Structure 1
Amino acid sequence: MKPVLYVFIFMTLLIAGCDKDEEVLATIEQQTAAIEKKNTEGSTITINSESYASGKFQEMPYRILLPRNYDASKKYPLLLLLHGVGERGTDNKQQLSLGSKLFQADTIREKYPAFIVFPQCPVSNYWFDKSITQTLKGLLDSLVAKHSIDKNQINIAGFSMGAYGTFAMVAQYPGTFKSAVAVSGDGDANKAASMAKTKWRIFAGKKDDVVSSSKTEKMAKALKASGASVSFKLYPEASHQRSWANASAEPDFCSWIFSTSKK
């Protein structure tokens, strides 16, 4: 999504806060419809047998990558990755534009065998909507029941709207997630205490003109004050889009996520 469109979308969204106003959301939908259609039509993502299998939970499409050489007798970590506003839809493909190449890389799959899950948010919703967080939790529960997933190694990460959803999910389901990565997002600082059991890495771009880095840093400070294990990194020259690229390129990005189980 182009930065200027992110500005229109998120400035309106940030002013409104997480309690949505119908007129505000109607405006957001009009502003994003054209670019979402363009993104879907112009997708160049290749999906094959080594890529993400498709699934659906309560009408929410998702993609899932199983650990290579999956052994049902072993327990594996899971990472839930939440995309931005421009990848919403029903094609069950566009959400792979965020991070799929990283986690599909041979070096990552061999070193960090894990379940990687990419749900796709409906166009009329946002990750922080209560109905959507409930659906995401239901999806996680169904995957844990179906596959050999270590309940102490469930992780979540998100960019932009996905970072909003990351804060919302951890707040609503405290103790569920071992680690959380939030890049260029915001949340309810008043709920920081309920997020303190999760280990956090938070990133932002100083030149982000969509989600102010001060909002993201506010969440990091609130979490730290609540006793959470949290690190915050600000990229001085990074725009909104570059903040995710920089964060995911950190040498220990994957090793930190899949490092140790929660106690």
Structure 2
Amino acid sequence: MHSTEIHTYLHRFFTENDCEILHGNEHYLTVQLTIDMDKRIMNRPFYWRYIESVNEIPNPAQLTLITDMKQLQNGMKGEVIHLGSPRLHQLFQVTKEMGQFVKLYERVGANNEQQILTPWVGVNYKVSFTSHQTKEILYSIGINLMTGAVVKEFQETIGMRDLSDQSSEQVFHLPFIITPVRALDRLDAVITKVIEGEDLTWVEEAEKRWRKDQAVLDYFYEGQEPKPECYEMEKRAMEERFKPRITVDVVNGGLFYLK
């Protein structure tokens, strides 16, 4: 997930949750949190308990989130956000809690001509490559429910569009040929092929490291038959640490009607 994709995600996340973007550019955002969002992500329950008990005026926090530190100067202070950072992981979790699937419509200009919107399904996947180290990559993929055309980096495609949960007037929504359920099956097949195309040399390296450490363990307990319980425990722990695993999680997704 590139810094521009993360920036787009952050901007949409906060604006859709009614958090005002106070200022920023393509490299950072300063956000005024709502009371609800402060309670969700700032981890200060005692503050809110006190404010509510004495009926004082609340003061939700402001956050400055930096998505490209290299482009910023003058010593700006804030949280650096990247794939794998605790704050971004937290926002992914909040997204799940608040609803993974949305239905949005692109706004159209006010005129007397009927506008046509085409249905798309878009899904953001988080893929974790795990062994003794972990790498996470976010993929955003969309599929046209009329033609079956697939677009990668779909989040960027919709990021600059004006979307609403209410359809505009004088709009005709094309009926989909591919059902959303079938579209999700196709996207799962696409993400599988994308993963297969990734550099998987880390799997060989993890297995090589695993065999090396296993040989050391076997040498240490050589001649002991049967092997003691501590040997089996260390062997299982080694397998848990080095065994390569690829997990795919759906961060969120939606049905989008676009021009």
What is the TM-score of this pair, normalised by structure 1?
A: 0.22
What is the TM-score of this pair, normalised by structure 2?
A: 0.23
Larger RCO: Structure 1 or Structure 2 (Cα < 8 Å, ≥ 6 residues apart)? 2
Larger radius of gyration: 2
More strand by share: 2
